[in-house]
Amino acid sequence: MLILAGQGNPGAKYAKNRHNAGFLLLDRIHNVHGFGPWRAKFESDVSEGAVDTPNGRVKVLLMKPQTYYNESGRAMSKACTFYKVDGQAVTVLHDEIDLAPGRVRVKRGGGHSGNNGIRSAMAHLTGDFRRIRVGVGHPGDKSMVMPYVLSDFSKADLDWFVPLSDAICKALPFLLAGDDERFQTEVMRLAPAPKHDPKQAGRPGTE
């Protein structure tokens, strides 16, 4: 069993926040790849399914921890214990302020870079988990980061986020087959990151 865990906060008021990019991506994967109904388990909303990959059909668990963003590792650990896997089987999808809007980077291991959800995952999982870092840009001032990520995606954001979600769904078989480089290349080919408009709020972030 491979586990795709989104980062986000439960509840309607957070549903369209930038910080809920991971949840939103899982919702799209759920619909495109025909996963089963969502149900409550592992302090999460979870859904099981299978995806055809270049290496054969793979069983996948989608999970949206309901512990709130900063405690999400606790829920992931429960799923790993149940399926008798370690962090190597987990891919965490999350927003990344240090990447320009629409940029995607795949990473395994490394530090948390101040992301408390990743910090929690590192504290609760054994083995290096994989991260899908989805750039949302930076508001330009450290004091504005929390209000920025807890604000909804703007209409301009959706112009790149929706195509990016579709690209991630199409490229997902490569990720599940372990070909991270091909996955990232396909995503950026299908949904190139937009050029940053300096008139928009926030700065693009860094690589």
Which sequence spans correspond to the domains of the chain? 2-190
Cβ burial of 204 (10 Å; 0-12, 13-18, 19+) is buried
Question: What is residue 110's predicted lDDT score, i.e. its pLDDT?
Answer: 80
Task: Give pLDDT < 70 ranges for the chain.
Answer: 196-207
Question: What is residue 173's predicted lDDT score, i.e. its pLDDT?
Answer: 98
Catalytic residues: 19
Question: What is residue 29's predicted lDDT score, i.e. its pLDDT?
Answer: 98
In words, the CATH class of domain 2-190 is alpha beta
Question: What is residue 200's predicted lDDT score, i.e. its pLDDT?
Answer: 47
According to DSSP, the residues that pair with 4 across neighbouring strands are: 62, 91
Question: What is residue 3's predicted lDDT score, i.e. its pLDDT?
Answer: 98
Q: What is the per-residue pLDDT across 9-29, written as a single tens digit (0 to 9) for each?
A: 999 999 999 999 999 999 999
Q: Give the integer Cα–Cα distance in Å for 197 and 195.
A: 6
Q: What is the per-residue pLDDT across 27-68, written as a single tens digit (0 to 9) for each?
A: 999 999 999 999 999 999 999 999 999 999 999 999 999 999
Helices (H), 43-129: 72-83, 116-124
Question: What is residue 101's predicted lDDT score, i.e. its pLDDT?
Answer: 96
Question: What is residue 196's predicted lDDT score, i.e. its pLDDT?
Answer: 65
